[in-house]
Amino acid sequence: MIKKWLLGLLISLWLIPSQSVRAIETENALKAGFLFNFARYSEWSRAQDTQTEFVLCSPDNHFIDVASVVLAKRMVNHLPIQSKAVNLTETDLSQCQVLFITSDTLLLWQAAELTKLNNIMVVGETEDFIEQGGHIRFFLSGGKIRFEVSPAKLTQANINMSSKVLRLGRVVDN
Amino acid sequence: MKIDTKLLLMMLVSPLAMAEEPLNDLDLDLDSLMAMDVQVTSAMKRAQSAFDTASSIYVLTKEQIIRSGATSIPEALKMVPGLAVRQLDNNQWAITSRGVASRFSAKLLVMIDGQSFYTPKFAAVYWETLDVPLYDIERIEVIRGQGGLLWGSNASNGVINIITKNSIDTRGVYADLSSGSQINHDANLRYGGDIGNQGSFRVYGHVKDGDESDKGISLAPSDYTEQYSLGARFDFTPNDEWSGLIQGNITESTLGQNFRGVIDETNRNVSFSGHLDRTDSRIMARIENRISDDANQMLQTSWLKQSGSQTFLQEDFSSFDIDYQMNFLYGDLKFDWGLNYRYNDISFAESSFVRSDGGYNTLEQYGALVQAQYTIIDNKLDVILGAKVEHNDLTGWENQPLARLVWKLQPNQVLWTSISKSVRVPSLIEFNDDFTIDGQRVEEVSPITTGIDMIDTYYIRTYLNGNNDVKSEESTSYELGYRLSQGDWGVDLSIYHTEVSDVLAVEVDAKSEQFLPIFALLQQGEIELAMQSLASTSINFDLVSNAELTTNGGDIILTWQPTDTFNAEVGYSYNTFNYDLAENTFEAIGYDSTSRQLFAKTDIQLFENHRLFSSLRVENSDAYNTDNYTVLDLTWQWAFHPNWSAAVMGKNLFAGSHIEYSNAGETYTLPNYIDESVTFKLTAKF
């Protein structure tokens, strides 16, 4: 009886089902804000002049829902930002400037058979994401978002990030 | 890039404010994003959402601290509207809120990253040796009024929590060097870097050599400063669920001071010049764990050691703390609970001023807190209920409940109200020690006078006796606040009424009958014998807990940011402090008084690389036995190179040489005139 009661208490205190969407929304919103800053402080050296919008992509629909709200009416290099949910196929990705792989879509990323993605900034949030083909990885420190970045891999993808942003991150090029 | 004023106001109050704001209102400035917590629940008892916080909170931002040119924590605190910050000399300070500040009894809880600096001996904080590198402070949160619930006992007048930066944000080299009319040299150096890809660190050092003030009151000033500090902080983030930090600091200080005390048979306070040698060390470690998206927990442990040596006073104090806290969301309920334990070790050499009754070399304190915030109407009305129970060795179990209501009238308007009870446990000085104080004249305490000058004007040895009948002071505070942000400007208003019972007072027991044999000797013409007898007589002032105290007042702060290169803040604070004393007693701390304070701060970017920060304070108070004064602090900064900047700081302009604190009755305290000063500073960052 006591065991059951204790278990009930434990469940109510510790193993709380994630009822509040708000907490995840906040994290996604902040990460969308970081992606916006990565974009506006970087240069895509092979950007096409005909571009009419700046496209932020993710295979994660939940993330794109939040990002669309956060980044509505924002501009990068005078281009309006579009947040798009995409499939991880080369055709779909060809329209993207930034690709965000969330922890929920990591398996899709690992399963996707993509050739080298040029001109796309690839950002993730899971351990070893940069080793797995990414350029930037978010992590949490003391409840706040920080990031690791590989400037060399960004350069290989024809992207130059401003030192203003680089110095805020942990540079992981060896 | 212009920051929306509402956002600015919320940032001013807390970086966490954004968490509950509509997503499309997010401030996407990189600095702001880096300052925000990902979770609404956050460890370390921080205010959840400042705009909606049901207490009078003010956050001093890192920008204000740097731009103001403050050279110490107390100087930075001068910028907080509603804080009484009185400078005694070049090293010593008396600081409090919603009351009368004193060097030795502040009723204010001061913490660095949640580590308490409260000393149970004096109930004071040695501001002069609280050395925290200002350039690595994230923000200083100041809660005016009762912080009892979340922070434990002795926070009846307020809480100051100094939050330092995560070392991941302080990688690289920082160096500064200052010199000026009062500072010979003040130099800081910090180096920070990564530890692999799972951590970061910083190490830093500080050297300060300061001059004496120009003018003393009764003695030539001797308040020079020699101070050395070394410290380090390490942060670890093995994964997104766990993070930890360890930090430590050691500060060696030699501080000149004037002081006074009773040391000979004149039984009078005698003034001296001397110096104080202190070593202050602290170390703390914290582990934070994100249990789920809606819950986290935190364990913090810390150790503090302070040793001080000065003429007639030798003290050693150390304390060990361990704190656990958990916060979670469950639907509309936000719940926090925690446990705390503190062990104090106090060693105090007997001196001619202070004698301990003995028996309290170690003190333990433990307790628990619960707080629940429930949303009654979504985005409209929240109710907060909580209680903290804590046991201490002096007065046993103490209980501090509170109830708060937050009503969001409009998305840009919040009305809050709070009723809370808070407890101040007596310090050992009050509970267990005897203090020799300035002697009383026979004619002041004896029922009859003799007409013989030598007898009538003789100063009898007088003791102030702490005793274990002294109780905890209990304050009940009623607070009401309103916040508004509208276009370019914002308002933050709070008013309060606080009633304190069992307040410490001093009861005079002259024991008139002890004079009768002396008068008998006089009648027999034995004047010399009468004098001898008088010399062995003493008068006792006993500390008693029978006064009542009422404080009323309010703070209003207006913020205005018409352009992105200019922001201004105007504040006004009012406080009345009234004792209700029993017969034959007088006040122990402060006296009936009214304090008014007017503040104006402006922060202007003049040209691309120039910035002018000004802060004007008008202090109008009869609580410190001083004239009213108006001071202006001006700092001009010039970033003449991407890595280098220069600054010139003028402090205490307008007021000239002035006295900020003159409650001369306090043993030991002997202030100087506070001078105008000019300081030059060179800063480099790589």
Domain count, chain A: 1
Question: What is the CB-side half-sphere exposure of residue B67 using CA atoms within 13 A?
Answer: 20
| Residues in chain A within 8 Å Cβ distance of B200 | 170
With beta carbons less than 8 A apart as the criterion, state whether A10 and B28 touch: no
Handedness of CA A52, A54, A60, A62 (dihedral sign): negative
B3 Cβ contact partners less than 8 Å away, ≥ 6 residues apart: B11, B27, B29, B32, B561, B564
Confidence of residue B93 (pLDDT cuts 50, 70, 90): very high
User: Which amino acid makes up residue B499?
Assistant: E
Mean pLDDT of B95-103: 89
> Quick one: pLDDT at residue A17?
37
Mean pLDDT of A129-152: 92
Nearest residue on chain B to A74, alpha-carbon basis: B28
A139, B237: Cβ pair inside 8 Å?
Answer: yes
- Judged by CB atoms within 8 Å, which residues 147-166 of A form the interface with B? 148, 165
User: CA–CA separation, B368 vs B511, rounded Å?
Assistant: 45
As a three-state string, the secondary structure of B199-240 is: EEEEEEEEEEEECCCCCECCCCCCCCEEEEEEEEEEEECCCC
B240, A24: Cβ pair inside 8 Å?
Answer: no
Identify the three-state secondary structure at position B676.
coil
> Per residue in B438-491, pLDDT tens?
888 888 877 777 788 888 888 988 888 888 889 999 999 999 999 998 889 999
Helix count and strand count (H, E) for chain B: 10, 33
pLDDT of A133 > 80? The answer is yes
Interface contact A26, partner B, CB < 8 A: yes
Mean pLDDT of A145-159: 94
A138 Cβ contact partners less than 8 Å away, ≥ 6 residues apart: A31, A34, A123, A124, A125, A145, A146, A147
With beta carbons less than 8 A apart as the criterion, state whether B318 and B345 touch: yes
Cross-chain CB nearest to B26 (options A16, A33, A142): A33
Å from B51 to nearest chain A CA? 17
pLDDT of B14 > 90? The answer is no
Higher pLDDT, A21 or B189: B189
Nearest residue on chain A to B16, alpha-carbon basis: A144
pLDDT of B492 > 90? The answer is yes
With beta carbons less than 8 A apart as the criterion, state whether B228 and B250 touch: no
Q: What tokens appear for B469 in the block?
A: 């009948």
Angle B506-B576-B600 (CA atoms, 0-180°, nearest 5)? 130
Is residue A20 domain-resident? Answer: no
Confidence of residue B508 (pLDDT cuts 50, 70, 90): confident
Å from A48 to nearest chain B CA? 26
> Per residue in B635-648, pLDDT tens?
999 999 999 999 99
| Residues in chain B within 8 Å Cβ distance of A128 | none
User: CA–CA separation, B174 vs B75, rounded Å?
Assistant: 21
Find the range with the poorest average confidence among A53-67, B122-136, B511-525.
Answer: B511-525
Kind of pairing, strands A170-171 and B115-116?
A: unpaired
Chain B interface residues facing chain A, Cβ-Cβ under 8 Å?
19-20, 23-24, 26, 28, 30, 33-43, 166, 168-169, 172, 194, 197, 200, 235, 237, 239-240, 243, 245, 288, 290-296, 326, 328-331
Q: What tokens appear for B532 in the block?
A: 């001898």
What is the domain-level CATH number for residue A59?
A: 3.40.50
- Widest distance between CA atoms in chain A: 71
* Domain housing B181: 5-220+229-685
Mean model confidence pLDDT for chain B: 88
Question: What percent of chain B shows pLDDT beyond 70?
Answer: 93
User: CA–CA separation, B64 vs B58, rounded Å?
Assistant: 12
> Per residue in B348-397, pLDDT tens?
777 777 777 777 889 999 999 999 989 898 888 999 999 999 999 999 99
Beta bridge partners of A24: none
Of the candidates A120, A174, A173, A165, the one whose C-alpha atom is nearest the C-alpha of residue A147 is A165
Higher pLDDT, B447 or B244: B244
> Quick one: pLDDT at residue B427?
87
User: CA–CA separation, A92 vs A112, rounded Å?
Assistant: 12
> Quick one: pLDDT at residue B35?
85
Å from B310 to nearest chain A CA? 41
| Residues in chain A within 8 Å Cβ distance of B45 | none
B292, A18: Cβ pair inside 8 Å?
Answer: yes
Mean pLDDT of B123-135: 90
Mean pLDDT of B623-641: 95
> Quick one: pLDDT at residue B407?
93
User: Which amino acid makes up residue B668?
Assistant: Y
Confidence of residue B176 (pLDDT cuts 50, 70, 90): very high
User: CA–CA separation, B123 vs B106, rounded Å?
Assistant: 7
> Quick one: pLDDT at residue B42?
47
Beta bridge partners of B473: B424
B245, A142: Cβ pair inside 8 Å?
Answer: yes
B633 Cβ contact partners less than 8 Å away, ≥ 6 residues apart: B68, B69, B78, B614, B615, B616, B649, B650, B651, B652, B653
> Per residue in B526-562, pLDDT tens?
888 888 888 888 888 899 999 999 999 999 999 999 9
What is the domain-level CATH number for residue B271?
A: 2.40.170.20
Q: What tokens appear for B415 in the block?
A: 């009305």
Kind of pairing, strands B269-292 and B295-310?
A: antiparallel
Of the candidates B9, B71, B73, B19, the one whose C-alpha atom is nearest the C-alpha of residue B49 is B19
> Quick one: pLDDT at residue B15?
31
Question: What percent of chain B shows pLDDT beyond 90?
Answer: 56
> Quick one: pLDDT at residue A13?
41
A16, B42: Cβ pair inside 8 Å?
Answer: no
Identify the three-state secondary structure at position B484.
strand
> Quick one: pLDDT at residue B74?
95
pLDDT of B510 > 90? The answer is no
Is residue A146 domain-resident? Answer: yes
- Judged by CB atoms within 8 Å, which residues 36-55 of A form the interface with B? 36-37
Interface contact A27, partner B, CB < 8 A: yes
Domain count, chain B: 1
B328, A33: Cβ pair inside 8 Å?
Answer: no
Confidence of residue B217 (pLDDT cuts 50, 70, 90): confident
Nearest residue on chain A to B39, alpha-carbon basis: A23
Is residue A1 domain-resident? Answer: no
Q: What tokens appear for B44 in the block?
A: 């370390």
> Quick one: pLDDT at residue B10?
41
Interface contact A5, partner B, CB < 8 A: no
Interface mutation vs chain A, best among B16, B18, B28, most A CBs within 10 Å: B28
Is residue A73 domain-resident? Answer: yes
pTM, full prediction: 0.89
User: CA–CA separation, B169 vs B31, rounded Å?
Assistant: 11
Mean pLDDT of B582-601: 92
A142, B36: Cβ pair inside 8 Å?
Answer: no
| Residues in chain A within 8 Å Cβ distance of B290 | 140, 143
For residue B45, what are the CA distances in angstroms to A18, A100, B4, B474? 22, 33, 27, 23
Identify the three-state secondary structure at position B63.
helix
B437 Cβ contact partners less than 8 Å away, ≥ 6 residues apart: B262, B269, B462, B463, B464, B541, B667
ipTM: 0.85
Interface contact A24, partner B, CB < 8 A: yes
User: CA–CA separation, B162 vs B352, rounded Å?
Assistant: 36
Mean pLDDT is highest, among B118-132, B137-151, B416-430, for: B416-430
- Interface A–B counts its CB contacts (< 8 A) at 121
Cross-chain CB nearest to A20 (options B28, B237, B329): B329
Higher pLDDT, B79 or B449: B79
Kind of pairing, strands B183-195 and B172-180?
A: antiparallel
Is residue A117 domain-resident? Answer: yes
> Per residue in A5-14, pLDDT tens?
544 444 444 4
Confidence of residue B340 (pLDDT cuts 50, 70, 90): very high
* Domain housing A78: 25-171
| Residues in chain B within 8 Å Cβ distance of A19 | 294, 329-331
> Quick one: pLDDT at residue A45?
83
pLDDT of B216 > 60? The answer is yes
Q: Token match 């996604």: residue?
A: A28
Higher pLDDT, A114 or A93: A93
Nearest residue on chain A to B195, alpha-carbon basis: A170
User: CA–CA separation, B539 vs B130, rounded Å?
Assistant: 37
Mean pLDDT of A162-167: 92
